[in-house]
């Protein structure tokens, strides 16, 4: 996986495109087959946390591979960008 800052500017990190991210283009599909009961439970769990199935599956893959969900990785990247600017939520994060 490329480093989050390679080929992306801070503006790209906040892009709204569905196939871009601070980590590169999200173009690689992962597919599998499961039984009907597993699918039903997976869908129920995704719905319970207000995620669509693809979003939930992506989070689970990233959690397994990187130790944090995709959403956590994006949030961390955004915090790091703000820290580089010396500001986060109107305060200096370098001071405790």
**CA atoms of 1 and 56, how far apart (whole Å):** 20
What residue spans define the domains of the chain? 10-85
Percent of the chain having pLDDT more than 70?
69
DSSP string over 67-87: SS-HHHHHHHHHHHHHHHHT-
* Per-residue model confidence as pLDDT tens digits over 37-81: 999 999 999 999 999 999 999 999 999 999 999 989 999 988 988
Written as one string, the DSSP assignment of 25-71 is: -----------HHHHHHHHHHHHHTT--HHHHHHHHHHHHHHSS-HH
14 vs 80, higher pLDDT? 80
Sign, CA dihedral 6-69-21-14, equals: negative
pLDDT attached to residue 8: 44
Q: What is the pLDDT of residue 91?
A: 55
The predicted model scores a pTM of 0.64
């Amino acid at each position: 996986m490329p480093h989050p800052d390679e080929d992306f500017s801070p503006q790209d990190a906040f892009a709204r495109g569905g196939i871009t991210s601070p980590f590169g283009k999200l173009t690689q599909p992962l597919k599998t087959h499961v039984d009907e009961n597993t699918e039903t439970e997976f869908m129920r769990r995704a719905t319970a946390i207000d995620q669509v199935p693809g979003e939930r599956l992506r989070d689970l893959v990233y959690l397994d591979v990187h130790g944090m969900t995709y959403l956590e990785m994006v949030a961390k990247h955004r915090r790091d960008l703000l820290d580089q600017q010396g500001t986060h939520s109107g305060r200096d994060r370098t001071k405790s």
